Amino acid sequence: MFEVIETNARFLLIGSYPNGPLGGLALTLILSLLGLALAFPLGLMLALCRVAPFAVLRIVSGIFVYVMRGIPLVMLIFWSYFLVPRLTGHAVSAFTALLVTLVLYQSAYLCEVIRAGIDALPKGQFEASRSLGMTYGQTIRMVILPQSLFNMLPSLLGQFVGLVKDTSIGYVISVNELTFSAQQINNSLLTRPFEVFFLLALTYFVVCFSLTAGVNFLERRISRKSVPTNAALEVVNASAV
């Protein structure tokens, strides 16, 4: 085990870089960060469409969300990698195909996370903002989203943890992420599959456990900050009664 770690740890972490392409854990984290950064605005737009007062926006965004959540991720990757070039006539790199797939797939889940955060706010806040003369857009931008996004931070970071694990499916189209790097090491050693894949599982566990611990810490901080707000809302509601 220690021999496998000593001889292959560098390749598992950064691939062949700087003498070759970047890979391993570094590429996995890059894919995860890019995927979340690009999926968030799309998920936010979909969530706003899901709660919009216009039926056509709710229907179209709902269809997209249900389709993305109802199809296996590996099938979406195959469509991106094999079908899109046939439709467009242009080749798509494995990295681009995986990134686009992760963005579309995660945006559907982020949409539901954000929509749940918006729906969790007291309806009176929306009504009070409109009664003060604010437009629908101003109410969403200045009142609803700042509160809901703050409360949703743990859930959004939890999606990032899931995204780190989702990148492993990229090995089916030979993206040089962490799982594919481990497979290359296993192919070169041939006789040490248990050690290689145990090291792979351990790496995923350490990364995801560290991120989850950070999410739990942030969730506790947000819960403490939310206590005064909830108490204040209760006082306002009691006064109104």
- Hey, is 90 helix, strand or coil? coil
Residue 21: pLDDT above 90? no
- Give CA angle at 163 (78, 51), nearest 5°: 95
pLDDT band at 130 (very low <50, low <70, confident <90, very high): confident
Mean pLDDT of the chain: 82
Q: Cα Rg for the chain, rounded, in angstroms? A: 22
77 touches 111 (CB < 8 A): no
* Six token digits for residue 4: 């496998």
At how many degrees (to 10) do helices 178-189 and 2-14 cross?
Answer: 140
DSSP 229: H
Average pLDDT rounded to a whole number, residues 159-181: 89
Instruction: Give yes or no for residue 241 having a pLDDT over 70.
Output: no
CA distances from 164 to 54, 132, 157 (A): 35, 44, 11
DSSP annotation of 53 reads: S
pLDDT of residue 14: 84
User: Phi first, then psi: what are they for 42, rounded to 5°?
Assistant: -70, -40
Q: Would you state the pLDDT for residue 239?
A: 34
**pLDDT confidence tier of residue 6, bands split at 50, 70 and 90:** low
Check: CB of residue 177 under 8 Å from CB of residue 23.
yes
CA separation for the pair 107, 128 (Å, rounded): 30
- C-beta separation of 222 from 153 below 8 A: yes
The CB density around residue 62, as the number of other CB atoms within 10 Å, is 14
Residue 142: how many CB atoms within 10 A of its CB?
12
| Amino acid in the structure at residue 184 | Q
| 110 three-state secondary structure | helix
- Contact call for residues 174 and 185 (beta carbons, < 8 A): no
Percent over 70 (pLDDT), the chain:
90
Give 93-127 pLDDT, tens digit per residue. Answer: 889 899 999 999 999 999 998 888 888 777 777 77
Give the domains, in start order, of the chain with CATH numbers.
2-240 (1.10.3720.10)
